[in-house]
Structure formats: C-alpha cells, structure tokens
Amino acid sequence: MKGIKIRGVGRGVPGKIVTNQDLERIVETSDAWITSRTGIQSRHFCAGEETFSTITAAAARRALESAGVEPEEIGACIVATLSGDTLVPSAACMLQRALGLPMDIPCFDLGAACTGFLFGLHTMECLLNASPRKYGLVVGAENLSRLINWEDRGTCILFGDGAGAAVVECREGWPSISAVMGCCGNDGLLRVPGPEAGGRSLISMEGTKVFKFAVEAVPWCVDQALKQSGKTVEDVDFFVFHQANARIIDLAVRKYRIPPEKYYKNIQDYGNTSAASIPLVLSELREQEKVGPGSRVLLVGFGGGLTWGGCLIEFA
C-alpha cells in the first residue's frame, strides 16, 4: 500500500471577530469565566457575503497554491463537516464546481464532527491507492455560528467558524499515516438534531461529560498512533490536538512532557471549529515555518459521535 504526505495547506477564516467582551453584552457570562475554563478569547463568525462555501473554497484554493498542484490533478475531494450550506448537494460537490476539479472523481462530505478531518485523511489514503491521480484534497470546514443556541450559556461561548484544507500526495514507498480511529454511538452527550426535529438544528452538549471523554480519548489516540507507526514521542516533530479546550491540551502536554516548541494552541483566536480545527492549526504552523518538508506531525481528534482518532503524517 502506498502512503500519503501533506503537500500543501491553506485556510479560510471569516472577517467578523466576536470577542468574549462582545458575548458579555448578549449572554450572562464574562471574559474571565470563559478564558479560565476554555482558553477561548475570541472566535470568527461568517457574516454578510461570507458563507460556508466561500471560506471552504478560499481554504482549498490556498492549499492547492501552497502545494503547487492544479485542480485537474486532484483524484478525490473530501469535505469533513456537520454544517454545510446544504445537505444535497454536498459541500464537496459544490467545491468541485467552484474549483473546477475533474468530474470523474469521488467528491463527498464526511460526518465525524471534530474528528472529521482525521477520518478524511485516512479515507483519502485509501482512495488514492485506487486512483490513477496521486493528489487528494481534504477539507475541514464549519459554519457553527448558525447552530449556536444562544440560550445555552455553557455552549454558545465555545464555537466558531472556519475552514482548513490540505492537499496530500500518494506515493509508493511512503509510510502509511498509521491511522487509529474509533466511535461509540451516543446521541446524548453532543448532539445536533437533523431536519426531522421540526425546528432549528442547534448544538447541545453535556460539557462535563464530554470533557471527561476527551481526557481519556486523547492519550489513547497518542499511544495507539505511536504503537501503530512504531515511533516514540521523541520521534514526533509536532503534536496537533483538536482545539476544543485549552485544559485538555495542557493535560496531554504534561502527560507526555511535550516541550513548548512541539505543540501549538490557537483556540484563543478561533474557539472550537470542529472539523476545521486541526487543518487550521496545520496551516498556521506551515505559514510560521514551525513545520516544513520532512516534519513528522501527530494529529489527534475527538468529538461528537462519539468519535476519536490519531495519525502520524509527514510533510512532503
């Protein structure tokens, strides 16, 4: 089996910034309360002409440019999301049209909430092994501001909008990304109802229970991904955790004694962007030259479903 590596990354972020101070004016909360419990200081919301589709296309175009890959070279397109503009057509199909991707390739959405981008990477690795084209486009994108329940002060502070994308390349002789994944069906801890609910589909979450799940899932993902790849913590150049809560990341950092130069947090600027979280980090890391050709990065995702996963992937 051929492996994949990241060839290019990009992001699309809405221009409207909503700070904790802004939320103080509409919700019974405070900047100190939000920051101390989550690490979030601001988040981005789509507004005006900015939509899920515009930020997704922006992220994908920048990833293609970063990779030096033309749209016609793409062999598959996956968009990980739970908040696309429409259920049908899929966000991936609309992205195919916007970018001018080939019409003889699979383009589809993937629903695994905050683990979606990681699930997408593993799925893309499998797809490209059966494709005559060697490049794939994986996007994580969300417009969660449309799904916020402003009467729930525990969750309305958490979420933001954004999109991140990666172009991956598949080659003989490259290592597998050693993906490990899991799920356990639970519609009580983190839920967004579908159209059958009859009203607006709004996010509901049992925050304390989800936090407990996350602090158990993260080390499992790290341990299993390292075991699968035959690597150690010292072999990893950078750790990228889903940006759900700064305290969850801090616990993992302490457990594995990860030095500050090997991990990154941007939750303070974006909040929880679900499937967009990990690729947003990857895009900023590459832009800041914290990672580059040959960098080995361990990704960890966890979220609604419940879902979790980890993988070890390199930059080409």
Of the residues 93, 107, 272, 311, which is catalytic? 272
Catalytic: 266?
Answer: no
Of the residues 20, 93, 242, 311, which is catalytic? 242
Of the residues 46, 114, 156, 311, which is catalytic? 114
CA geometry: angle 9, 15, 20, nearest 5 deg: 110
| Nearby residues of 16 by Cβ (< 8 Å), 6 or more positions away | 44, 45, 46, 47, 48, 50
Q: Between the CA of residue 175 and those of 196, 200, 230, what are the distances in Å?
A: 43, 44, 11
* H or E element that contains 250: helix 246-256
Catalytic: 114?
Answer: yes
Pairwise CA distance, residues 148 & 201, whole Å: 9
Exposure string for 157-176, b = 16+ CB within 10 A, e = fewer: bbbbbbbbbbbbbbeeebbb
Catalytic: 242?
Answer: yes
Q: Between the CA of residue 130 and those of 64, 105, 106, what are the distances in Å?
A: 21, 11, 11
Pairwise CA distance, residues 313 & 295, whole Å: 8
Pairwise CA distance, residues 299 & 284, whole Å: 15
Pairwise CA distance, residues 96 & 185, whole Å: 31
Q: Which of 291, 227, 292, 218 is nearest to 256 (CA)?
A: 218
- List the catalytic residues: 114, 242, 272
